[in-house]
C-alpha cells in the first residue's frame, strides 16, 4: 500500500479523498492555486504545494506542475478526483513514465471511453445500444445544420471532451443549431482546450440513469447498482439518488451486465461510470463512460456500504476486489443534493463572495436516517469566480425513498449559508414537490415545473400557521430576554399581551396566547386562526435555526433578524415576518407600498462575470430574442438577449471587462 499520495484537485473532492486516505493511514499532499491558498483541502492535507495562478489552465490543468509536486514531496501515487486532469490519458502516461501510480484506469481505457465520439464508436462495435447520431467531427455550423436535419429535431450538440453540462446545447430548429454550435464550441475550447463537437438525437422525456462499475487489475468487474440523475438544470445535475425509482430488477441487471461487458472490453481498472439515457418504456441507450470517480458517488456508497475511494486506491496498489457480484446488495435509499453558489431567484445565475456564515447540519445518524455532507469550504471561506460553484454535497440515507426525502428536507431546512446567494431554498422546495416525491422524473423536470424560473412557494393556510407560530415564539422569547436585562430602566411589563397579529409577506395571521407566562425553554399553547397548537422550542436569540415541535410535529426553520422583523426560510418558502399588536397591524395596512426602480431600459449584468462579447453598436435597432452580449462566469457562457424590440443608446462595457452583478452593460432609448 502507498505511504503517500497526492490529490491533483481542489474543493470537496480533494477533502473527500483526504478523509479516506487518512483512515487508511496514508499521508496526503494537496496542491493549490493562488485563489486556494487558504482552502480547506490545503489545511486538511499533511503537506501542500503551490502550483500556480488562480486560473485552472495555469495551475490545476498543468500536468508538469503536478508531477513536480509529486517529486518534491515523494508522493507515490496521484488521485485526480473528477474534472481537471482526471480523464486525460497523456497525464496518466506522464505519471507512469516518472514511476508514479495514477489512481484510476489505464490510458487505453481513458482514450477509448474518455472521448465521447470514440466511445460511441467503440460501444457500437461492442453491440451496446447507443443513441442515433453523427459521431464524426463537425467542421462548421452549416454542416451541423445538415446533420441535424438528417437525424431529426430535436438534437443535442455536445463537446467531445465535455462534462458537467459545459459545451452542450439542445436545438429544436436550424437557427438554434447555428447558435448552439458556436456556443458549444466556444465553451468547449475555454473549458477543455478542445473545440470538437458532435450531434445526436435528443430523446424526449428522457431519464439520466448511470451504472457504477468497479474493476481491478486481475479481471474482476462488478456493478454497484444505478444512480438516477434526472434532476438537471442546463444539463448540470442538481439532485441524484440511488437506486432509481423507475428501474425494475430486469432492466437494472441488463444495464449492469452491459456496463460490465463494456468495462471488460477496454480492460478497465478502478471506479468508472457508464451513463445511459432511458426512455419512458425503459429502453436504454449508452451515452458515455466516465473514466473517473463521479461527483454523485456518495449515494452509491450509502446504499452499498462500499467506500469507492478506498477501492480505487487498493486497485491502484494492485489488490483484488474483496467482493464478487453476488456480494453486492442495495440497502435502503440515498439522496444527494448539490448546494451551488447561485441565485435561484435570478434564474440560477452564479454568485461569488465570502461565506459569512456556514453551518451545515450535523453529520451521522439522526432518528431513522443518516446525514452526510461532503464539502470543501468553511465559514469565512471565499467562493471564487474561477471554479465550479459547488459549495457542498448534502446526502441523506433512510430505509425508504420517502423517509430519505423527508430527512433531506429537514437537513436542508437547517443548512445555514450566508454571505452569498445559494440554491438551498430551491432544493428544499423540490423535496416537497409532488412530482418529485412520486418519482415521475425526466431530465426536463426543472424546465417543465419551473418554466418561468424559481420563486418561493406561496404558503397555504397550514404552512402559514406554522410560520406564524415560529415567528411569534421567537418574538416572545426575544421580548422575555430584553425584559430580564438587569440594567433595564423600565420594569418588566408583566404578563404577555394576549392578542397578536403576525404579518407573513403580504398576509396577516391572527394569534392568541392561551397562557400569560413565557417559559424558557418555550412551551405554550397558542391559538392561530382559531386552531390551538402546542409550541415547544429551545431556540435562543441569535440562533439562525429554530428547532422545535408545533402540534406534535417536528419543525426546523431558519430565522434571521431584518429591519422591524424576521426573514423566515422553511421548506423553500422565504418571506419576511412581522409580529405586531392588532393596532400596529391596522396601521401597517395603511402604509404606502414602495415600488422598485424601473430598469426596463437597461441591460444589467445578471451575475459577476467577464464580458466575452458585445453583439450590438450604439444606435442599432434590435428585435426581441436577438443576442446583445455574452458574459462568462464560472466557466459557463451566458447569452443575454433582448426581451423586446429596442434601440441601443449607450454601451457601458467592453469585451474583457469584469463586471459586478447589476452593472449596467447597455442602455436603451
Q: pLDDT per residue over 603-645, tens digit each?
A: 999 888 889 999 999 999 999 889 999 998 876 788 999 988 9
Task: Please give the span between the terminal C-alpha atoms of the chain, in angstroms, as a whole number.
Answer: 69
Rama region for 166: left / alpha / beta (φ>0; ψ in -120 to 50; rest): beta
Task: Tell me the average pLDDT across 415-434.
Answer: 97
Task: Provide the mean pLDDT of the chain.
Answer: 92
Superfamily, domain 132-201: ATP-grasp fold, A domain (3.30.1490.20)
Cα separation of 218 and 319, whole Å?
Answer: 8
Task: Tell me the average pLDDT across 136-159.
Answer: 89
Burial class (CB in 10 A: 0-12, 13-18, 19+), 234: middle
Cα separation of 256 and 580, whole Å?
Answer: 60
Q: pLDDT grade, residue 163 (50/70/90)?
A: low
Q: Cell match 426536463: residue? A: 444
| CATH number corresponding to 4-103 | 3.40.50.20
Please give the C-alpha separations between residue 321 and each of 217, 221, 315, 404, 638, in angstroms, as whole numbers: 9, 8, 7, 29, 45
**pLDDT tens track for 543-581:** 999 999 999 999 999 999 999 999 999 999 999 999 999
Does the structure show a pLDDT above 90 at 168? Answer: no
Residues shown for the chain: 669
- Which pLDDT does position 381 carry in this prediction? 95
Poorest-confidence range of 16-30, 289-303, 489-503? 489-503
CB neighbours of 505 closer than 8 A, spacing ≥ 6?
575, 576
Does the structure show a pLDDT above 90 at 475? Answer: yes
- In 80-235 the beta strands, taken as DSSP E runs, fall at 101-102, 133-134, 155-163, 166-171, 197-201, 207-215, 221-233
Q: pLDDT grade, residue 390 (50/70/90)?
A: very high
Does the structure show a pLDDT above 80 at 96? Answer: yes
Which of 388, 338, 9, 445 lies closest to 164 in space, CA to CA? 388
Q: Which three cell numbers stand for residue 311?
A: 477501492
Which of 135, 103, 119 lies closest to 274 in space, CA to CA? 119
Cα separation of 321 and 268, whole Å?
Answer: 13
Cα separation of 286 and 442, whole Å?
Answer: 17
- Rg for the chain (alpha carbons), in Å? 27
Burial class (CB in 10 A: 0-12, 13-18, 19+), 523: middle
Does the structure show a pLDDT above 70 at 494? Answer: no
Q: Does domain 461-588 have CATH number 3.40.190.10?
A: no
Q: Is 288 a catalytic residue?
A: yes
The residues of the chain that CATH labels 3.30.1490.20 are 132-201
Does the structure show a pLDDT above 90 at 492? Answer: no
- In 80-217 the beta strands, taken as DSSP E runs, fall at 101-102, 133-134, 155-163, 166-171, 197-201, 207-215
Cβ count near 90 (within 10 Å): 12
The residues of the chain that CATH labels 3.30.700.30 are 461-588
Catalytic residue chosen out of the listed positions 145, 210, 288, 637: 288
pTM passes above 0.95: no
Does the structure show a pLDDT above 90 at 348? Answer: no
SS3 311: helix
Q: What percent of the chain has pLDDT over 70?
A: 98
Cα separation of 158 and 198, whole Å?
Answer: 6
Q: Which three cell numbers stand for residue 290?
A: 466516465
- SS3 assignment for 408-460: HHHHHHCCEEECCCCCHHHHHHHCCCHHHHHCCCCCCHHHHHCCCCCCCCCCC
Does the structure show a pLDDT above 80 at 442? Answer: yes
Does the structure show a pLDDT above 80 at 132? Answer: no
Q: pLDDT grade, residue 177 (50/70/90)?
A: very high
Does the structure show a pLDDT above 90 at 408? Answer: yes
Alpha-carbon dihedral of residues 10, 86, 79, 350, nearest 10 degrees? 20
- Which pLDDT does position 519 carry in this prediction? 84
Q: pLDDT grade, residue 191 (50/70/90)?
A: confident
Which of 233, 234, 230, 238 lies closest to 209 in space, CA to CA? 230
Asked if residues 378 and 368 have their Cβ atoms less than 8 Å apart, the reply is no
- Which pLDDT does position 621 carry in this prediction? 93
Q: Which three cell numbers stand for residue 599?
A: 430598469
**pLDDT tens track for 270-313:** 999 999 999 888 989 998 899 999 999 999 999 999 999 999 99
- Which pLDDT does position 485 carry in this prediction? 74
Biggest alpha carbon distance in the chain?
Answer: 86
Alpha-carbon dihedral of residues 100, 104, 110, 116, nearest 10 degrees? -140
Rama region for 205: left / alpha / beta (φ>0; ψ in -120 to 50; rest): left
Cα separation of 215 and 268, whole Å?
Answer: 6
Task: Tell me the average pLDDT across 535-541.
Answer: 96
Asked if residues 607 and 631 have their Cβ atoms less than 8 Å apart, the reply is yes
Poorest-confidence range of 78-82, 158-162, 207-211, 503-507? 158-162
Does the structure show a pLDDT above 60 at 650? Answer: yes
Does the structure show a pLDDT above 80 at 486? Answer: no
The residues of the chain that CATH labels 3.30.470.20 are 332-441
Q: pLDDT grade, residue 16 (50/70/90)?
A: very high
Asked if residues 496 and 516 have their Cβ atoms less than 8 Å apart, the reply is yes
- Which pLDDT does position 495 carry in this prediction? 64
Q: What percent of the chain has pLDDT over 90?
A: 74
Cα separation of 646 and 484, whole Å?
Answer: 61
- SS3 assignment for 582-605: HHHHHHHCCCCCCCCCCCCCEEEC
Task: Tell me the average pLDDT across 642-669.
Answer: 92
SS3 160: strand
Asked if residues 304 and 248 have their Cβ atoms less than 8 Å apart, the reply is no
Does the structure show a pLDDT above 60 at 491? Answer: no
Cα separation of 592 and 599, whole Å?
Answer: 21
Residue 394, H or E segment: strand 390-398
Among the ranges 149-163, 421-435, 510-524, 608-622, which has the highest mean pLDDT value? Answer: 421-435
Superfamily, domain 332-441: ATP-grasp fold, B domain (3.30.470.20)
Architecture category of domain 602-668 in CATH:
Beta Barrel (2.40)
Amino acid at each position: 500500500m502507498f505511504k503517500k499520495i497526492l490529490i491533483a484537485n481542489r474543493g470537496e473532492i480533494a477533502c473527500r479523498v483526504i478523509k479516506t486516505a487518512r483512515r487508511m493511514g496514508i499521508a496526503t499532499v494537496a496542491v493549490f492555486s493562488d485563489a486556494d491558498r487558504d482552502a480547506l483541502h490545503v489545511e486538511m492535507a499533511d503537506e501542500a504545494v503551490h502550483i500556480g495562478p488562480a486560473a485552472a489552465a495555469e495551475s490545476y490543468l498543468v500536468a508538469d506542475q503536478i508531477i513536480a509536486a509529486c517529486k518534491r514531496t515523494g508522493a507515490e501515487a496521484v488521485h485526480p478526483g473528477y474534472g481537471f486532469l482526471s480523464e486525460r490519458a497523456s497525464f496518466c502516461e506522464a505519471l507512469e513514465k516518472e514511476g508514479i501510480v495514477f489512481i484510476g484506469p489505464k490510458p487505453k481505457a481513458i482514450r477509448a471511453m474518455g472521448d465521447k465520439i470514440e466511445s460511441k464508436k467503440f460501444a457500437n462495435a461492442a453491440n451496446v445500444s447507443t443513441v442515433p447520431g453523427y459521431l464524426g467531427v463537425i467542421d462548421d455550423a452549416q454542416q451541423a445544420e445538415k446533420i441535424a436535419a438528417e437525424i431529426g429535431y430535436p438534437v443535442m450538440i455536445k463537446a467531445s471532451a465535455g462534462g458537467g453540462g459545459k459545451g452542450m446545447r439542445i436545438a429544436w430548429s436550424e437557427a438554434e443549431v447555428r447558435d448552439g454550435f458556436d456556443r458549444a464550441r466556444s465553451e468547449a475550447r475555454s473549458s477543455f482546450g478542445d473545440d470538437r463537437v458532435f450531434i445526436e438525437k435528443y430523446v424526449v422525456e428522457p431519464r439520466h440513469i448511470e451504472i457504477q462499475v468497479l474493476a481491478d487489475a486481475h479481471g474482476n468487474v462488478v456493478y454497484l447498482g444505478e444512480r438516477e440523475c434526472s434532476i438537471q438544470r442546463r444539463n448540470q445535475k442538481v439532485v441524484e439518488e440511488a437506486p432509481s425509482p423507475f428501474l425494475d430488477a430486469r432492466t437494472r441487471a441488463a444495464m449492469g451486465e452491459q456496463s460490465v461487458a463494456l468495462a471488460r472490453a477496454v480492460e478497465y481498472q478502478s471506479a468508472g461510470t457508464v451513463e445511459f439515457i432511458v426512455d419512458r418504456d425503459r429502453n436504454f441507450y449508452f451515452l458515455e463512460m466516465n473514466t473517473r470517480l463521479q461527483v454523485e458517488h456518495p449515494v452509491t456508497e450509502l446504499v452499498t456500504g462500499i467506500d469507492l475511494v478506498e477501492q480505487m486506491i487498493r486497485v491502484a496498489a494492485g489488490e483484488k476486489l474483496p467482493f464478487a457480484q453476488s456480494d453486492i446488495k442495495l440497502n435502503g435509499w440515498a439522496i444527494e443534493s448539490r448546494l451551488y453558489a447561485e441565485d435561484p431567484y435570478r434564474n440560477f445565475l452564479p454568485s461569488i463572495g465570502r461565506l459569512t456564515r456556514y453551518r451545515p447540519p450535523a453529520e451521522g445518524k439522526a432518528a431513522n436516517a443518516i446525514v452526510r455532507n461532503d464539502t470543501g469550504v468553511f465559514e469565512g471561506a471565499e467562493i471564487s469566480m474561477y471554479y465550479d460553484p459547488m459549495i457542498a454535497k448534502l446526502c441523506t440515507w433512510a430505509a425508504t425513498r420517502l423517509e430519505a426525502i423527508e430527512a433531506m428536507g429537514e437537513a436542508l431546512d437547517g443548512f445555514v449559508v450566508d454571505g452569498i446567494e445559494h440554491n438551498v431554498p430551491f432544493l428544499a422546495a423540490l423535496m416537497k414537490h409532488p412530482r418529485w416525491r412520486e418519482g415521475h422524473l425526466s431530465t426536463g423536470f426543472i424546465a417543465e415545473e419551473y418554466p418561468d424560473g424559481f420563486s418561493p412557494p406561496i404558503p397555504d393556510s397550514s404552512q402559514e400557521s406554522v410560520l406564524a407560530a415560529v415567528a411569534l415564539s421567537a418574538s416572545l422569547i426575544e421580548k422575555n430576554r430584553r425584559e430580564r436585562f438587569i440594567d433595564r430602566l423600565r420594569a418588566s411589563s408583566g404578563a404577555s399581551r394576549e392578542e397578536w397579529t403576525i404579518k407573513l409577506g403580504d398576509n396577516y395571521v391572527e394569534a392568541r396566547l392561551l397562557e400569560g407566562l413565557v417559559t424558557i425553554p418555550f412551551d405554550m399553547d397558542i391559538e392561530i386562526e382559531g386552531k390551538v397548537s402546542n409550541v415547544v422550542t429551545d431556540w435562543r436569540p441569535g440562533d439562525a435555526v429554530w428547532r422545535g415541535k408545533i402540534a406534535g410535529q417536528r419543525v426546523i426553520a431558519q430565522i434571521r433578524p431584518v429591519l422591524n422583523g424576521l426573514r423566515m426560510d422553511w421548506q423553500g418558502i422565504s418571506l419576511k415576518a412581522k409580529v405586531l399588536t392588532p393596532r400596529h397591524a391596522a396601521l401597517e395596512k395603511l402604509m404606502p407600498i414602495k415600488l422598485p426602480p424601473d430598469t426596463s431600459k437597461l441591460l444589467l449584468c445578471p451575475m459577476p462575470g467577464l464580458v466575452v462579447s458585445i453583439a450590438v453598436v450604439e444606435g442599432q435597432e434590435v428585435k426581441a430574442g436577438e443576442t446583445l452580449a455574452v458574459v462568462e462566469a464560472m466557466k459557463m457562457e451566458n447569452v443575454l438577449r433582448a426581451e423586446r424590440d429596442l434601440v441601443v443608446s449607450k454601451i457601458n462595457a467592453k469585451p474583457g471587462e469584469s463586471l459586478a452583478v447589476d452593472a449596467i452593460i447597455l442602455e436603451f432609448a
